[in-house]
Amino acid sequence: MQQLSGARSSMRPLFGQRGAARAVHASAGASSDYRQSPLFRACATLTAFALLIMLALPLARRTLLGVGLATTLVSVPMGPASAEGSNPASASASSGVVIDVEHRRGEVRYSEAEWRQRLTPEQYQVLRREATERRWTSPFNYEKRPGVFNCAGCGAPLFNMSSKYESGTGWPSFFQPLPDAVTEVPDYSIVFMPRTEVRCRRCQGHLGHVFDDGPQPTGLRYCMNGAAMTFEASGEAAAAAEQAAA
Ligand SMILES: *[C@@H]1O[C@H](CO)[C@@H](O)[C@H](O)[C@H]1NC(C)=O
């Protein structure tokens, strides 16, 4: 009502403006009283609490999912059921290799010195030291050819191009990984912001994080570091690209 009467008074001739301005000022002064009232304080507290719950619930859900998955992977040796046909690493999987989540060791294991030797400095920082590349620096942001993204650490296939989408974040984003390709682990490295880390299942290299704000059909956003992956265009597309270049 204050606003309304203020608006009406502004329709008066110019010399009337001063009165209207003074009235608005006076009403602002008077309004400071209600903030002291217990009812207002109770409402404010309740609103803040509700907001906190709304923010915390989805995060907690993902965190719980991550904890469950991590616990399973730590305690249960991978049986022959997870063997992948012609994959040579499946030999070690069937012999009962347990993923060591804490030390970031999977079926494919190297010493730190060996990892440093095998990877470029940037790949090493991301895959083995959990660094995050600067946004919009990966050429994979613009990759659109059909094909598969592989782990830069061990070559394991991770994502099909068909699940890639433009998230606008500056990191290559996917709505789902290939079956059995990644391990998801709770990550508390940022205080008050629990996240779910995504790793290559085979070598436990750090790939990125997964969030709840992705597109259908999964509603998930796998936010990946391009530096942690290599891209293999599918045969036909690669041949076509070669022809176009020639
Ligand atoms: C990737 O997706 C395409 C299109 O759905 C499919 O033809 C291809 O077989 C998939 N590749 C892999 C490795 O899953």
- Active site (annotated) includes residue 223: yes
Please say if the pLDDT value at position 62 is more than 70. Answer: no
Environment class of residue 71 by beta-carbon count within 10 Å: exposed (0-12), middle (13-18) or buried (19+)? Answer: exposed
Count CA atoms within 13 Å of residue 9 on its CB side.
16
Of 129, 107, 105, 98, give the one whose Cα is nearest residue 227.
129
In the reported structure, the alpha carbon of residue 177 is separated from the centroid of ligand 1 by a whole-number distance in angstroms of 12
Domains of the chain: 57-245 (2.170.150.20)
Contact 207, 224 (CB under 8 A): yes
Please say if the pLDDT value at position 74 is more than 70. Answer: no
Environment class of residue 173 by beta-carbon count within 10 Å: exposed (0-12), middle (13-18) or buried (19+)? Answer: buried
Q: Whose C-alpha lies nearest to ligand 1, atom 11?
A: 160
Q: Whose C-alpha lies nearest to ligand 1, atom 10?
A: 160
Give the whole-angstrom CA distance, residue 198 versus residue 211. 10
pLDDT of res. 89: 43
Give the number of the atom of ligand 1 that is nearest the alpha carbon of residue 162: 2
Count CA atoms within 13 Å of residue 146 on its CB side.
7
Residue type (1 letter), 122: E
pLDDT of res. 147: 96
- 137-154 residue pLDDT tens: 999 999 999 999 999 999
pLDDT of res. 204: 95
Return the best residue to mutate from 150, 161, 162, 178 for the ligand 1 pocket (most ligand atoms within 8 A of CB): 162
Question: Tell me, what DSSP letter sits at residue 11?
Answer: T
Return the best residue to mutate from 150, 160, 231 for the ligand 1 pocket (most ligand atoms within 8 A of CB): 160
DSSP string covering 178-193, please? PTT-EEEEEE--STT-
In the reported structure, the alpha carbon of residue 162 is separated from the centroid of ligand 1 by a whole-number distance in angstroms of 7
Question: Is the overall model pTM greater than 0.85, yes or no?
Answer: no
Of 163, 117, 130, give the one whose Cα is nearest residue 144.
163
Report which of residues 37 and 197 the model is more confident about. 197
Report which of residues 9 and 160 the model is more confident about. 160
- The distance in angstroms from the start CA to the end CA of the chain is 74
Please say if the pLDDT value at position 63 is more than 60. Answer: no
Q: Whose C-alpha lies nearest to ligand 1, atom 3?
A: 162
- 91-134 residue pLDDT tens: 444 456 678 888 888 999 999 999 999 999 999 999 999 999 99
* Pocket, ligand 1, Cβ cutoff 6 A: 148, 157, 160, 162, 178
Residues 157-162 have a mean pLDDT of 96
- 185-195 residue pLDDT tens: 999 988 889 99
pLDDT of res. 239: 65
Q: What percentage of the chain carries pLDDT values higher than 90?
A: 49
Q: Which two tokens stand for residue 171?
A: 């990191």
Please say if the pLDDT value at position 71 is more than 60. Answer: no
pLDDT of res. 15: 43
